[in-house]
Amino acid sequence: MPGSIFVDTSAFLALEDESDQHHEEALRFRDQQLLSGSYQLITTSYILDETLTLVRSRLGITPSIDFSRKVRRSRIVRVISVSSEVEEKALDLFERYDDKDFSFTDCVSFVVIKDLGIRDAFTFDEHFVQAGLSRLP
């Protein structure tokens, strides 16, 4: 069974947006590590929502639709639909860590990551390091 890596919005954006400062690094990581078949990529419906919105805002509707289709057709990306139970746990985290500037979407991600026992996140967001995860690349 392949290992799991959580994929955050910042990683998806870096892959999709050639002008993103992390674009080349994200492409190298994807090509050298993620496409090996050794990993299942996990994300959430919240990350998909956030990414589709940002890709549309930055690049237009067609790239946003293309991204959506790639994710939905992917054999290695699993999108977790966020349940009301996960939302409640995320709200608790959001309130508990009021000294951090975690977004609610970050908190949802942290709950899913913990629930699934994931240790690694493909992200360029420092919040994941603050939450105790290994940030890749």
34, 6 Cβ separation under 8 angstroms: no
At 110, the amino acid letter reads: F
Q: How confident is the model at residue 123 (pLDDT cuts 50, 70, 90)?
A: very high
Please write the tens of the pLDDT for every residue from 67-89: 999 999 998 999 999 999 999 99
Q: First and final CA of the chain: distance in angstroms?
A: 21
Q: Exposed/middle/buried for 121, CB within 10 Å: 0-12, 13-18, 19+?
A: buried
pLDDT of residue 69: 97
Model-level pTM? Answer: 0.93
Going from the N-terminus, what domains does the chain have, and what CATH number goes with each?
3-81+119-136 (3.40.50.1010)
pLDDT of residue 35: 79
Longest pairwise C-alpha distance within the chain: 39
pLDDT of residue 39: 87
Has residue 1 got a pLDDT over 90?
no
Mean pLDDT, range 88-117, rounded to an integer: 95
Please write the tens of the pLDDT for every residue from 19-75: 999 999 999 999 988 877 788 999 999 999 999 999 999 999 999 999 999 999 998
pLDDT of residue 98: 87
